Amino acid sequence: MPYLIIIAVVLITSPFILKLAQSQKKEVKRNLKLALLLILTTQLILGLLNWENFTSGRSGFELALIYPNSLLGLFFIISIIQIVFLIIGKSFNTLVVILNFLNSVLIFAGVIRLSNILGFQAVSFASVGSVFFVLFGNIVALAFINKDKNLLKKYFK
């Protein structure tokens, strides 16, 4: 159920992000970059919180270290790499977006694999929030690297 809410929110906010994406102003691009940095940082902060269940349990980082086969560790490593690349410079922006889409697959695979390893569905507000931020990050990242000022005209004639 929480994942359906995440998908609904992402779909509802997507048109607004597309409107921003067609803007080629430096200020808008800078704000999108800052939003993406904030999203990636939030993913890492959520990794410090309980990922096992809604009441208490181990953090995402603990679970990633204890169960390296879950792929959660790779998710956190890629998030750190994305932040570094965004800070380093403009030439890595497209790579950051590609890594974000890879992280989308990793977070879903990681949570599913972790649940299989643990023998119960490992879900919490922090893990659901991380999924939301990764998906929302995809939209913001695409808007950030977009260079087409007529983006909406292609879809809404």
pLDDT tens profile 24-44? 678 888 888 999 999 999 999
CA distance 68 to 49: 18
Axis crossing angle, helix 125-145 with helix 26-46, rounded to the nearest 10: 160
Domains in the chain: boundaries = 2-148
- For residue 42 the two structure tokens come to 């939030």
Instruction: Kindly state the DSSP code that residue 49 receives in the 8-state scheme.
Output: S
Q: How many CA atoms lie within 13 A of 117 on its CB side?
A: 17
pLDDT tens profile 66-94? 999 999 999 999 999 999 999 998 789 88
